[in-house]
């Protein structure tokens, strides 16, 4: 599920930019609204999904609990996303005979909201038996500690994965759990690696 969502979001933004380049002024406005509206819907839906996953995990006895952002950042992002839409759509109006244009503010609020939602969705949880991981595009993944066959610390460009990442493999699975190391504190990643028993060089732990 991770690849189609990432590709869809990227293509949506690219298509909006390219279409506005060749469209008329009126069409450009409509295309921007549609593209931002669709992107807003994707981020908002995935953000809610991440919050639901976090809520389900909140009752566990964690040995390791790591958030990439403060606990309320994703809620703030969802709130700004809700506020940004009407400001963007209805931000152009006339008051006391003077033309007012607040639509740019709505766009700024939405971009800030997308960043907060993306950052706030990252979470690592580790109890006695299971590793839990959530991200915006990847959703919720879990693996039993005893079922982990290998883990690798990687710093390399990839079309759909973070450049600085920890890949955790388990048998009979299509793809690994890919943890974005750059978004978490280095100390947290180091503790996680030691807990999983991975063999990594010291310089690979530096984010």
**Domain encompassing residue 35:** 2-60+70-121
81 assigned to some structural domain: yes
Q: Mean pLDDT over residues 148-169, rounded? A: 85
Q: What are the strands of the beta sheet with 177-180, ordered from one edge?
A: 150-155, 164-169, 177-180
pLDDT reported for residue 90:
78
82 assigned to some structural domain: yes
Q: Is 19 exposed, middle or buried (0-12, 13-18, 19+ CB in 10 A)?
A: middle
Look over the chain and give the mean of its residue pLDDT values, rounded to a whole number: 76
Question: Does the structure show a pLDDT above 60 at 3?
Answer: no
138 assigned to some structural domain: no
- Point out the least confidently predicted range of 45-54, 83-92, 194-203: 194-203
DSSP state of 146: G
Helix residue ranges, H only, 58-200: 73-90, 103-120, 186-196
35 assigned to some structural domain: yes
54 assigned to some structural domain: yes
What's the domain count of the chain? 1
181 assigned to some structural domain: no
- Distance between CA 173 and CA 160 in Å, rounded? 18
pLDDT tier at 36 (50, 70, 90 boundaries)? confident
Question: Does the structure show a pLDDT above 50 at 1?
Answer: no
165 assigned to some structural domain: no
- Paired with 131 in beta bridges are 126, 143
CB-based contact 132:140 (threshold 8 Å)? yes
Percentage of residues in the chain having pLDDT higher than 70: 72
pLDDT reported for residue 10:
67
8 assigned to some structural domain: yes
Q: Mean pLDDT over residues 125-140, rounded? A: 84
């Amino acid at each position: 599920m991770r690849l189609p969502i990432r590709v869809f979001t990227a293509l949506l933004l690219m298509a909006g930019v390219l279409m506005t380049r060749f469209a008329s002024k009126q069409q450009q406005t409509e295309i921007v609204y549609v593209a931002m509206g669709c992107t807003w819907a994707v981020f908002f839906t995935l953000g809610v999904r991440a919050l639901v996953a976090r809520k389900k995990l909140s009752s566990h006895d964690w040995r390791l609990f790591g958030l990439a952002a403060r606990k309320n950042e994703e809620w703030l992002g969802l709130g700004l996303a809700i506020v940004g839409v009407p400001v963007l759509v209805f931000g152009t109006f006339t008051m006391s005979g003077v033309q007012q244009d607040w639509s740019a503010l709505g766009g700024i609020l939405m971009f800030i909201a997308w960043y907060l939602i993306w950052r706030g969705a990252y979470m690592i949880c580790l109890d006695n038996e299971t590793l839990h991981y959530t991200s915006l595009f990847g959703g919720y993944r879990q693996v039993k500690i005893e079922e982990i066959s290998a883990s690798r610390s990687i710093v390399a460009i990839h079309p759909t994965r973070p450049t600085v990442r920890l890949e955790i493999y388990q048998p009979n699975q299509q793809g690994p759990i890919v943890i974005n190391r750059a978004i978490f504190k280095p100390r947290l990643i180091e503790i996680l690696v030691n807990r999983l028993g991975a063999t990594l060089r010291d310089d690979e732990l530096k984010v």
